Amino acid sequence: MIDEVAEVRAAARSLAEEWLATGGRGRADNWARGLDPAFSKSLAAHGLIGLTWPREYGGRGLGNVARLAVTEELLRVGAPTGAHWVGDRQIGPSLIRHGTERQRAEFLPAIIAGEVVFALGMSEPGAGSDLAAVTTRATPVAGGFRVSGRKVWTSNAHRATHLYLLARTDTGERKHEGLSEFLIDMDSPGVQVSPIRDLAGEHHFNEVLLEGVVVPEDRLLGVRGRGWQQVVGQLAFERGGPERVLSTYPLLAELLSAGLSLSPAEQDRLGELIARLAALRHLAGGVAKALDGGEAPTREAAGLKHLGTAFETDLAEFVRDAYAATGRAPSPLVWDALLSSPGFGIRGGAAEVLLSLIARQEARA
Ligand SMILES: Cc1cc2nc3c(=O)[nH]c(=O)nc-3n(C[C@H](O)[C@H](O)[C@H](O)COP(=O)(O)OP(=O)(O)OC[C@H]3O[C@@H](n4cnc5c(N)ncnc54)[C@H](O)[C@@H]3O)c2cc1C
């Protein structure tokens, strides 16, 4: 297994370096905002997407530790991985757990080939931290469902081929009941995407309006009404990866190679950051091993996300201060990182919500 991990790490590193050598420009947070279908296809051609999936669907049947090695290498250089990230990280595993054979056969090989791009349609104006409050409705009609509602903060929806959607199909006694998951073609009539500009003025988020969108029955993912139980499984994959630690890592590499002279106090801060990074990598390894062991490490993933996103922001602020102390203008990477950092502790679960989740699980343990 160690050999397989080393082999895929070396393959990812070599592709990442080739990408840099041929003009690629690493950015902070580029796993989420940078979308380059050609780069994703080159990873696909080397078998680096769908690493953990069964061979019968074109996967490599490797463990999450191997996937961790690949994702670390891509994050290390700030490569643009948004075209395949969501499909590889959580839609594929969700299809493997809950999809029909037909859905698996349609989507898994296409994700592995870098041919489909998924956006996540979870959040709504009144349902973010309280995700179970979604009001988007999927009403049963002959042959499928008619969907109406509004999703917000949908990253990369303007470049996606498909939308994962959490919607309400039934009314239950509790808001967590009656939710269902769907896979929707972005070019379906009635899907309207409008940009929401972020702090940097970039178009990364969207509002997605769904007006009477007809979704065939075979695009229901899993069991009708079990959407909450299913989506919770997705969140462990969404929170437990190294992208919650390494979004600003390219700054550290750049700082170390820029030869800035650091004061003793700054050297102490840098030492502390590097020690935190080592501890976070250890935690990420633990989450990957737990997933490989068939566990659902919800609490560990939440803890990694909470501590990791604090690290990402602290690192960006440290590098900003280090440049300021020398009077040298910071590189564009620093601006990228600072402007995207307010979102780190919110997306994928706000800090307070994760801490409550950890505390609740701790109390139950
Ligand atoms: C960069 C980025 C990318 C995103 N991409 C996507 C995407 O692709 N798809 C998608 O569906 N969504 C996406 N989101 C949305 C994200 O999931 C939500 O912003 C997040 O869940 C918080 O929801 P909210 O914005 O509605 O804030 P709210 O839920 O209104 O929370 C606001 C604040 O209130 C506090 N708070 C809320 N509830 C509690 C509580 N129970 N206990 C204590 N404090 C609480 C927290 O401080 C929280 O930050 C993205 C967000 C960001 C920042």
pLDDT in tens, 201-222: 999 999 999 999 999 999 999 9
User: Which atom of ligand 1 sits closest to the CA of residue 157?
Assistant: 8
Q: Is residue 188 part of a domain?
A: yes
Confidence of residue 94 (pLDDT cuts 50, 70, 90): very high
107 shares a domain with 126: no
If one counts the domains in the chain, the total is: 3
CA of 278 from ligand 1 middle (Å) equals 28
Q: Indicate the pairing of strand 144-151 with strand 162-168.
A: unpaired
The arithmetic mean of pLDDT across residues 74-88, rounded, is 97
Q: Same structural domain for residues 195 and 271?
A: no
Query: Ligand 1 pocket, 218 CB below 6 A?
Result: no
Catalytic (active site) residue 17? no
Please tell me whether residues 324 and 310 are part of one structural domain. Answer: yes
What integer pLDDT is reported at residue 296 of this predicted model? 82
Give distance in angstroms: CA of 282 to centre of ligand 1: 27
- Using the predicted structure, report yes or no on whether residue 5 has a pLDDT greater than 80: yes
The answer to whether residues 122 and 149 touch, using CB atoms and an 8 Å cutoff, is no
Question: In this structure, is the dihedral angle defined by the CA atoms of residues 308, 71, 302 and 112, taken in order, positive or negative?
Answer: positive
- Secondary element (H or E) of residue 364: helix 351-364
Segments forming the whole domain that contains residue 326:
240-364
Q: What is the C-alpha R_g of the chain?
A: 20
pLDDT-derived band at 363 (thresholds 50, 70, 90) equals: confident
234 within some domain = no
> Are 255 and 357 part of one and the same domain?
yes
* Residues 185 and 207 grouped into a single domain: yes
Give the distance (Å) from ligand 1 centre to CA of residue 7: 37
186 and 161 Cβ atoms separated by less than 8 Å: yes
| Closest C-alpha to ligand 1, atom 35 | 352
Residue 233 in any domain: the answer is no
Do 21 and 62 belong together in one domain?
A: yes
Task: Answer yes or no: is the C-beta of 340 below 6 A from any ligand 1 atom.
Answer: no
Residues 106 and 135 in one domain: no
Cα–Cα nearest to 118, from 15, 45, 37, 211: 37
The whole-angstrom separation of Cα 98 and Cα 1 is 27
Q: Which residue is closest in CA terms to ligand 1's atom 51?
A: 347
| Whether 204 and 264 share a structural domain | no
Q: Does 118 contact ligand 1 (Cβ within 6 A)? A: no
Average pLDDT of the segment spanning 27-35:
94
The single residue of 124, 181, 238, 312 carrying the catalytic annotation is 238
Q: Which DSSP state fits 88?
A: I
What is the pLDDT of the chain when averaged over all its residues? 95
42 closest CA partner among 60, 16, 67: 16
